[in-house]
Amino acid sequence: MLSLVNGKIASLLAESCEPPSTTADNSKEQEKKSFQTASHKFITLFDMHSEEKLVNYYSCSLWKNKVPRQGWMYLSVNYMCFYSYLVGTEVSIVLAWVDIKLIERGANLLLPESIRVATREEEYNFSMFMKIDETYRMMQQLANLAVRRLLSEDGYDTSKSFLPALGTASSVAKASSSAKQRRSGNTESSMSRRRQSFGGSGGGGGGSLATTPQLKRDLEARRRSERYRIQFSLPVDEPLDGHLDCSLYTPYDRKIVAGRLHLSPNFLCFASELPGLVQLVVPLRDVACAEKKDEPVGGQGRPGQSLFLHLRPSCGGSQPVLFTDLLDREVLLEKLTAYLRRQKIAEQPGEVQSPVGQQQQQHQLLCPDLHRQPALVHIFTQSHPHLFSDEAAGKEVLWDAYFKEYGSGVCMYRTPELRRLVYEGLPERLRGQLWMTLSGAANELAAGPGYYGQLVEATVGRSSFVTEEIERDLHRSLPEHPAFQSELGIDALRRVLTAYAHRNPNIGYCQAMNIVTSVLLLYCNEEEAFWLLCAICERLLPDYYNCRVVGALVDQQVLCQLLGDASPKLLKHLSQLNVVSMISLSWFLTIFLSVIPFTSAVNILDCFFYEGARVIFQITLELLTKAERQLLAAREDSDAMITLNGLLKRLDTPDAVRRLVSEATNRLSHVTNVKIDQLRMRHRLQVVQGLEENVMKNCVRAVISTDLRPACQLGRECLEGLFWLFKEESVHSAFWRARQVADHVDAGRHDPTRPYYDQTRLNYEQFDRLMLAVSPWGRCARHLNLRLFKLVDLDGDNQVNFLEFAWTLGIICGRDVTLKFKLLYVLHLDGCQSELSRQISQQELQDVAGQTAASGSVSNDNADNDLLEDSDIAPAVEATEEALAEEANNEAGAVAAAMTASSLSVEPTANFRIVTSLSNMSINSRNRFIRLQEFETLRPASMSRPKFIELWKATHQLIELAPNEQFLLNSVAQAGTHLTQLGEAATSAPSAVESAGSCTENVDSSAATDPAVDNWLITFDQFLACFLNQSELADWLGAPCDLLPRIKAYRENSWRVRNSSN
């Protein structure tokens, strides 16, 4: 009986084990099919481009008029969409991420667990999510990616996978499958689940790795990699491969510490389960080999689950690193071996190296003796009495003991003892070395030897607006220190700042960088100071030092939220006095170096490089809390600043600063880097959108200040609407251009000396799309868009700025019928672009070329130096004008296609490049509007018969959609007949044309004597008189057009227009 029962139980267990496997496979296949169906629906419902990638979709409800409408939210790379169809009512919403200014999660009685989304015009409330945490996190991440694209105008490349791979995407799968083949039964099942947790760092919050959409996995991997880099102070491009729970043997106390191991292509890191107990960073370049250990460690580990890492003697690690309790040791060892093999291949001479490695090796051969300025503290020792004090000697003894017990360099064990030593202050002899180790800059230096010298060589002798800004601030950097009263320190500071500006043109140079760099140079050599500056600007304080100090403004909002949580009353009072903005910029940008004597403030830098940005927030909150009573009593901002300055003056000794830091970090330990990063993501949207609104206001103000009548007559509201169209077109097109051949690169895009209206430009394809949408002439006579583009593209770079775009629409939609007729007439002349460029005569071009030749060279946008002879100018100009005239004679469709193709070309022809460089030299971007201003007084040349026929056809096309089309057609016919007769009269009497006072510069002089040439000509005055004589035509063309409804309609459907074009 007992055997019967046991058999029955075994049978039931066998049956229960098989179906879940089959059910799981079916479930995975079903989830995959459902996502494919959702992607198809997304493209179909919202008319999206086929390359617009869906990230994920979620069931939720939209609250509209206090009524929930159940539907589906679709999240893609560029858009957030919602669709609902209930009881015959359809709701469809499409919001571009770059238009969203707020994503806020809330909960109340009416809307439990809701997400509020706000744009510049409307607000939307969504609730009833099945996975609200995942949805909110994904929305924030996608919106922040779009914000970064808005700042940099670079596309987010969805083809780039953030899931790390060992050479190929299938290598991880191969490692897992080969390990699977060595296992069987239930062990294989459990190990497979653990392997997923190790290799699946990119997996999302819902679903397994196999069923999660690819792009969602990539974004989730990106998020986890960012957390990983922040936790262990790693380079910004280091992707996380995976993590695994295990234990670390700590040789200093002979214990086993439970925690989590992280693996990436260049690092193996460990963090204890108990925060702060022990942390270890092992660069794989310092690992000699890895081997298995089957015996338990000290009788505490499990047999067959240990791994030894033997370190190279040069890295400072005295003993091997031992991990135990590795349940997936075989998979880890295979992946680790592959990474180590790659490291060895890169180090072996004669082997195939990466392009970066080849560059570094070439540089070391070319300039092995490049001078490196040592740490200035070792040269100007008289200014640092603490260097040889008994206190410094005692600290060095403590640090030597720590290095002996815990190791030195990047591979040392980071324990609470290390934190205590850092907060007590670093010895000045070791400060530079420890800054490099604690900040992670040592890893970047090891990965790029010779890179700094290469940048220094590339910047020698070069001059730009950035170098001018640097020169102005060199002598303002720690002027009280003797090192920066001499050329020794000034030269080193100049080289470091110029090299970084060359490395990162998005940032270039920002005030406050000179103060921070000067302190770095005191304790580090030049190359180390450069890499520390890179770590500060790109990792520790991201976006702080760009032209709009976005990072500092975001952290200002983070500080306000943290202060509001601690003391809402104090936050309200300081916000009314506008004190928070003042202290956040001056304190944060210089890391307190400008408000506290640097001899004391370097102690804050010690903690900053160890703990990260959290230290700055903790110290600021502590200072505000200490002075809360006095600040609440302040009636003006000056009173509050006097109170804070008095508090800072008391921090004149290192001991006072150390006490403040210790109190702040102990009391505000809940302010972590992870929390700060979350708050930054939350507030970045609102800050960047606020900055964009300021840019819009400044741009509109700059356009109005030019006094260009056509553009100013549009009105402020219309100009604001056009600006948003102009900016959004530029940003969205940047995303799609990432998948196409790069068009003209605007080398001056980061030049802050440009007027606001000239800082964003569009190519012809984008210009044409906007003109089709908002211009009354756009769809009727599309071929005119190309001619308009050429007319206002004054410097021939295939781009137009906002002022030129607004000026064009101002004429087309304005009340001045004479300007409209003149524009229509000029667009049909031979080489219409030359009509606005005639005031630069050939002699002026030769003068410019002569001045350039005297200086030695002509520099173009690509920084190429080409000597230019005077004789080369006229043929270049003539060839360009002939090409423009020939292109204008083509059919409209062929011309547009040719222009579109040329806008995507990588490099213009030689002649075109010469003319472009000369135009850029003679026309500064700040006064480009002068050409447009002279259009009203311009006297156009006479027009030939073929051009008049084209003009006549274009006029017919413009009135095709007019309500009184028949009457207008009669008017055009009468005016055209009269002009034809005038032209024929000119054929028999050419002198009549000259007596009319017209300009005939563009007419070949041989045409008057050669009987084979058609002398048919009309002047602009004749054209204007004939058409103005037709009152109905003049009234219709002169009627103003309201652009606001067109702008609103295009913005509501812009994604359809862009997707169909792309």
Residue 794 has pLDDT above 80, yes or no: no
pLDDT at 152: 66
Alpha helices in 428-578, H assignment, sequence order? 431-439, 441-447, 451-459, 465-474, 487-503, 513-523, 526-535, 550-566, 568-577
Residue 333 has pLDDT above 80, yes or no: yes
850 assigned to some structural domain:
no
984 assigned to some structural domain:
yes
Beta bridge partners of 247: 258, 324
The single-letter code of the amino acid at 891 is: E
The last residue of a domain, from among 670, 686, 702: 686
pLDDT at 744: 45
518 assigned to some structural domain:
yes
Residue 573 sits in the same domain as residue 632: yes
Strands (E) in 107-170, as ranges, are 114-119, 123-127
The two tokens of residue 796 are 């021939």
Helix (H) or strand (E) holding 862: none
Number of domains in the chain: 6
Per-residue pLDDT, averaged over 823-830, amounts to: 87
**Cβ atoms within 10 A of the Cβ of 398, count?**
14
The last residue of a domain, from among 665, 686, 707: 686
Residue 569 sits in the same domain as residue 632: yes
Residue 597 sits in the same domain as residue 620: yes
pLDDT at 1062: 44
Residue 336 sits in the same domain as residue 212: yes
Packing angle of the helix pair 892-903, 783-792 (nearest 10 deg): 50
The two tokens of residue 656 are 């006072």
Q: Which residue has the higher pLDDT, 859 or 148?
A: 148
Alpha-carbon distance of 900 to 741, in angstroms, equals: 12
Residue 611 sits in the same domain as residue 516: no
Residue 865 has pLDDT above 90, yes or no: no
C-alpha distances out from residue 201 to 209, 218, 384, 424, 575, Å: 9, 10, 48, 37, 42
pLDDT tier for residue 709 given thresholds of 50, 70 and 90: confident
Residue 717 has pLDDT above 60, yes or no: yes
Residue 50 sits in the same domain as residue 136: yes
pLDDT over 90 percentage in the chain = 35
pLDDT over 70 percentage in the chain = 72
> Could you report how far apart the first and last alpha carbons of the chain are, in Å?
75
Per-residue pLDDT, averaged over 159-180, amounts to: 37
Alpha-carbon distance of 19 to 1014, in angstroms, equals: 90
Beta bridge partners of 166: 168
Residue 209 has pLDDT above 50, yes or no: no
Domain span holding position 444: 376-384+428-540
Residue 206 sits in the same domain as residue 182: yes
The last residue of a domain, from among 686, 702, 722: 686
Place of tokens 């080398």: 747
Place of tokens 């413009």: 958
The two tokens of residue 790 are 């050429």
pLDDT at 505: 87
pLDDT tier for residue 354 given thresholds of 50, 70 and 90: very low
Cα atoms in the 13 Å half-sphere on the side-chain side of 894 = 6
Residue 886 has pLDDT above 80, yes or no: no
pLDDT tier for residue 349 given thresholds of 50, 70 and 90: low
| Cβ–Cβ under 8 Å, residues 57 and 38 | yes
Residue 908 has pLDDT above 60, yes or no: no
pLDDT at 241: 92
Alpha-carbon distance of 955 to 953, in angstroms, equals: 5
pLDDT at 118: 92
Residue 860 has pLDDT above 80, yes or no: no
| Cβ–Cβ under 8 Å, residues 240 and 228 | yes
Residue 170 has pLDDT above 90, yes or no: no
Instruction: Provide the Cα torsion 34, 35, 38, 44; round to 10°.
Output: -120
pTM of the prediction? 0.79
Residue 201 sits in the same domain as residue 310: yes
867 assigned to some structural domain:
no
Question: Would you call 763 exposed, middle or buried from its count of C-beta atoms within 10 A (0-12, 13-18, 19+)?
Answer: buried
Lowest-confidence region among 425-434, 995-1004, 1044-1053:
995-1004
415 assigned to some structural domain:
no
pLDDT tier for residue 780 given thresholds of 50, 70 and 90: confident
- The enclosing domain of 454 has a CATH number of 1.10.8.270
Per-residue pLDDT, averaged over 115-129, amounts to: 90
pLDDT at 928: 55
C-alpha distances out from residue 691 to 58, 484, 546, 696, 728, Å: 31, 36, 13, 9, 15
Per-residue pLDDT, averaged over 795-824, amounts to: 88
pLDDT tier for residue 531 given thresholds of 50, 70 and 90: very high
Strands (E) in 296-440, as ranges, are 306-311, 321-324
Per-residue pLDDT, averaged over 87-92, amounts to: 87
Q: Which of 171, 162, 178 is nearest to 226 (CA)?
A: 162
Q: Which pairs count as long-range contacts for 126-131, CB under 8 Å and 24+ apart, including other chains?
A: 126/60, 126/61, 126/62, 126/63, 126/73, 126/82, 127/60, 127/61, 127/63, 127/68, 128/59, 128/60, 128/61, 128/68, 128/70, 129/58, 129/59, 129/60, 130/58, 130/59, 131/58, 131/205, 131/206
| Share of the chain residues as helix, strand and coil, in percent rounded to the nearest 5 | 60, 10, 30
The two tokens of residue 814 are 């304005």
Helix (H) or strand (E) holding 83: strand 79-86
pLDDT at 674: 87
| Cβ–Cβ under 8 Å, residues 199 and 172 | yes
The phi-psi region of residue 469 (left if phi > 0; otherwise alpha if psi is between -120 and 50; otherwise beta) is alpha
| Cβ–Cβ under 8 Å, residues 503 and 545 | no
pLDDT at 736: 54
Per-residue pLDDT, averaged over 390-412, amounts to: 90
Q: Helix (H, G, I), strand (E, B), or coil: what is residue 858?
A: strand
Lowest-confidence region among 628-632, 711-715, 850-854:
850-854
| Cβ–Cβ under 8 Å, residues 58 and 129 | yes
pLDDT at 911: 28
**pLDDT tens digits for 14-70?**
555 545 555 556 666 777 788 889 999 999 998 887 788 899 999 999 988 888 899
Lowest-confidence region among 6-10, 872-876, 969-973:
872-876
Residue 279 sits in the same domain as residue 297: yes
The single-letter code of the amino acid at 33 is: K
Q: Which of 146, 147, 174, 167 is nearest to 158 (CA)?
A: 146
The single-letter code of the amino acid at 73 is: M
- The enclosing domain of 662 has a CATH number of 1.10.472.80
Q: Judging by DSSP bridges, how do beta strands 100-106 and 89-96 pair with one another?
A: unpaired
pLDDT averaged over every residue in the chain? 77
| Cβ–Cβ under 8 Å, residues 215 and 55 | yes
Residue 510 sits in the same domain as residue 616: no
| Cβ–Cβ under 8 Å, residues 229 and 200 | no
Alpha-carbon distance of 672 to 1047, in angstroms, equals: 45
pLDDT at 113: 84
Per-residue pLDDT, averaged over 275-303, amounts to: 81
Residue 599 sits in the same domain as residue 517: no
Per-residue pLDDT, averaged over 162-185, amounts to: 37
Q: Helix (H, G, I), strand (E, B), or coil: what is residue 89?
A: strand
Q: Which of 308, 330, 335, 327 is nearest to 319 (CA)?
A: 308
Q: Helix (H, G, I), strand (E, B), or coil: what is residue 852?
A: helix
Q: Which residue has the higher pLDDT, 859 or 389?
A: 389
Residue 668 has pLDDT above 90, yes or no: yes
| Cβ–Cβ under 8 Å, residues 435 and 523 | yes
pLDDT at 692: 87
The two tokens of residue 965 are 């089309």
DSSP character string of 998-1013: -B-TTS-GGGGT-TTS
**pLDDT tens digits for 455-505?**
999 988 888 888 999 999 999 888 888 889 899 999 999 999 999 999 998
903 assigned to some structural domain:
no
3-state secondary structure 390-405: HHHHHHHHHHHHHHHH
pLDDT at 892: 34
917 assigned to some structural domain:
no
| Cβ–Cβ under 8 Å, residues 557 and 686 | yes
**For 537, which DSSP code?**
I
| Cβ–Cβ under 8 Å, residues 166 and 175 | yes
**pLDDT tens digits for 305-329?**
889 899 888 776 667 899 998 888 8
Residue 210 sits in the same domain as residue 145: no
845 assigned to some structural domain:
no
Q: What residues contact 428, with CB distance under 8 A and at least 6 apart? A: 377, 384, 386, 387, 392, 523
Q: Which residues of 191-202 are buried (b: 16+ CB within 10 A; e: fewer)?
A: beeebbbbbbbb
pLDDT at 708: 84
| Cβ–Cβ under 8 Å, residues 899 and 883 | no
Lowest-confidence region among 237-251, 579-593, 997-1011:
997-1011
pLDDT at 383: 64
Alpha-carbon distance of 249 to 302, in angstroms, equals: 13
Cα atoms in the 13 Å half-sphere on the side-chain side of 558 = 29
Q: Which of 690, 706, 405 is nearest to 550 (CA)?
A: 690
Residue 365 has pLDDT above 60, yes or no: no
**pLDDT tens digits for 242-259?**
999 999 999 999 999 999
